[in-house]
Chain A
Amino acid sequence: MNTPTIIWIALPLFIGFSSYLLPRSNRFFALGMALVSMAYGLWHIVAPTPLTIELIDNFGVTLVVDGLSGYFVLTNALVTAAVVLYCWQKNKSKFFYTQTVILHGSVNAVFICADLISLYVALEVIGIAAFLLMAYPRSDRAIWVGLRYLFVSNTAMLFYLMGAALVYQTTGVFAFTAVQNAPPAAIALLMIGLFTKGGIFASGLWLPLTHAEADTPVSAMLSGAVVKTGVFPLVRLALMTDNVAPAVQLFSMGTAFLGVTYAIFEKDTKRMLASSTISQMGFVLANPAVAGFYALTHGLAKAVLFLLAGNLPSRKFQMLQRTPMMRWQWLAMTIAALSISGMPLLSGFEAKALTVQDLPPTITWAMNLAALGTAIAFAKFIFLPFQRPDKSEKRGAQLGFGCAIGLLLGGLVLASGQHLETYSVSKVLMALGTLASGWAIYGFWLRRGLPKLPTGIERFEHLIGGMSLMLLLLLGMVAA
């Protein structure tokens, strides 16, 4: 059982570097790697016997693979495969594929980590690979956005490292389970690092600009899979220990509201999608026990939306209301948007229903309210005009794009029906009611446009300064 896991985790690094030697076939290698991960993820979802690999000696370096990891790995695999298919005919350089495969591998590594130090290394490799992908166009803006991302995430990881040292000082091990006995300061420091990586609450304000300004396939990868690397350890910690869960649950509500508020006000398609990612991370965290399924449905839908939004005639909603898009684009976009909004028959509905199932009533209501906000925000996409396709349009040129969208939407549809117990009359009515009232609010009031939210808070210095405020807030919350 151990050998396949070790081969699987080392394979992307091997493929990533050796694909330089075989530049013609690197896209095949990248796709193959994603397929291997897909099989591995599915295997652990279907046969969830948890597998634990421990480094010999007693300082707690551990890998754990279980059903939860399986869902996250599957998300990463599907998103990576879709991104590779999307780029199939775009003549991307070998450097791009190398970075994509290494990013894929390090994201996988996070999803099986069960100790603070392996996690640190994996998160830092992700930071570097994501920076290289972001800065790849080498324009000033791309470099600045990448630099800002790397700076913020590295500063947060320094806090995280201090937290890890404090955990070791108290308990003598680095395993996640040791966080149970760690002092509050250690937990606050660890959480600030993970919050920043995962785009949680005010620590996630770096995310809209970064995800919106990156290249289309990179945005899809970042929002679909990479951002979940900050959330997954929080989920794992909340499941393994008691002292992390209360703060995580409280912040999940805050995150869902903050993100969705930004998303409703946003006038730019990609920024709106990125803000919605923040809000959806709140949903993933709200109920750690079913986080895997939620992450899967969100990752697939968000990747579809980012890939499509990058190919629309404009990024402004105002322009898109005047220039119709292709009918198939609208159809794909609407399916994904409906899934995120929680439409019954799509997997997003089951994920939302599972998430709010066992929560305390106040949190359930807060989450339903955030779901209403999501419906309002995504109505902006659903009510855009579309036109019949031109006969003159070349079909072959967009084959890779179509395959990518097909793969993601196929996953979204196949994933539904796994949890039939969520289909009760009251829940379906609730979901439909949420959607209808969201669309009504959008149609009657918000369609004419809203004031622009100030973006001053997303300035670099504020992001770093905000980190210290969040740290104090967390410290107060954990110590209380």
Chain B
Amino acid sequence: MFELCSLASIPLFTDRRLFMTTPPPLTLPMTAQAILAAWVFATVLIGFVGIIWKRNLIMKILSMDVMSTGVIAFYVLVAARGGFLAPIVTGTQAGAYADPVPQAVILTAIVIGFSIQALMLVGVMKLSRDNPTLETSEIEQSNTP
């Protein structure tokens, strides 16, 4: 596609035998896609429920991470609709390749997501000095006017 052209200079990616010897890449059948999508949505839901259910603030943050894992997986799934070969310009027709746009987008979101998580955990460290159990309801009660 576009910026990935520069990768073509790396020998691994230009080795055409890689594509010749392997059988033509498959796309996912519809049912498999639906099942995967169901698992992905289940992950998002479990994470979301965890945010409400878990009492400990750290566990809440981890639940949010589970939820964001689900969202990331959803982007990967959307990208893999047309196939899962890496989209690299090699000169020959390589077959069904994955859509690089959602992957590029979710890469940004992953970086943002983990920086926010790190920030939140620093906040939790500070809070844990006065609230060693990190029970959210307790923290909330003592810090709401």
Interface flag for A117 (CB, 8 Å)? yes
Residues of A within 8 A of B130 (CB): 140
B116 in contact with A147 (CB, 8 Å): no
User: Which segment, of B14-22, B23-31, B83-91, B119-127, faces chain A?
Assistant: B119-127
Q: Is the interface of B mostly helix, strand, loop or mixed?
A: helix
A181 to chain B, nearest CB (A): 16
How many angstroms between the C-alpha atoms of A38 and B57 in the bound complex? 41
Tally of contacts, chain A with chain B, CB under 8 A? 96
Q: How many residues of B contact A (CB 8 A)?
A: 41
Residues of A within 8 A of B81 (CB): 169
How would residues 53 to 85 of chain B score, 1 for a CB under 8 Å from any chain A CB and 0 otherwise?
A: 000010011001001100100110010010000
A144 in contact with B116 (CB, 8 Å): no
Interface flag for A459 (CB, 8 Å)? yes
A138 in contact with B71 (CB, 8 Å): no
Known A-B contacts A128-B115, A460-B136; A147 and B127 likewise in contact (beta carbons under 8 Å): yes
Interface flag for A262 (CB, 8 Å)? no
B116 in contact with A128 (CB, 8 Å): yes
Residues of A within 8 A of B105 (CB): 117, 164, 168, 174
Interface flag for A151 (CB, 8 Å)? yes
B87 to chain A, nearest CB (A): 13
- Near A by CB (< 8 A), chain B positions 101-145 give 101-102, 105, 108-109, 112-113, 115-116, 119-120, 123-124, 126-127, 130-131, 136-137, 139-140, 142-145
- Near B by CB (< 8 A), chain A positions 445-474 give 455, 459-461, 464-465, 468
Residues of A within 8 A of B (CB): 57, 59, 117, 120-121, 124-125, 127-128, 131-132, 135, 138, 140-141, 143-148, 150-151, 154-155, 158, 161-162, 164-165, 168-169, 174, 209, 213, 268, 455, 459-461, 464-465, 468
Identify 29 residue pairs between A and B in the complex whose beta-carbon atoms are under 8 Å apart, listed by A's number.
A57-B2, A124-B112, A131-B119, A132-B119, A140-B126, A140-B130, A140-B139, A140-B142, A141-B143, A145-B143, A146-B123, A150-B116, A150-B119, A150-B123, A151-B60, A151-B64, A151-B120, A154-B113, A155-B48, A158-B68, A161-B109, A164-B105, A165-B75, A165-B78, A165-B102, A168-B102, A169-B81, A455-B144, A464-B48
Nearest 6 CB-CB pairings of A with B: A144-B143, A141-B143, A147-B123, A124-B112, A169-B78, A143-B123
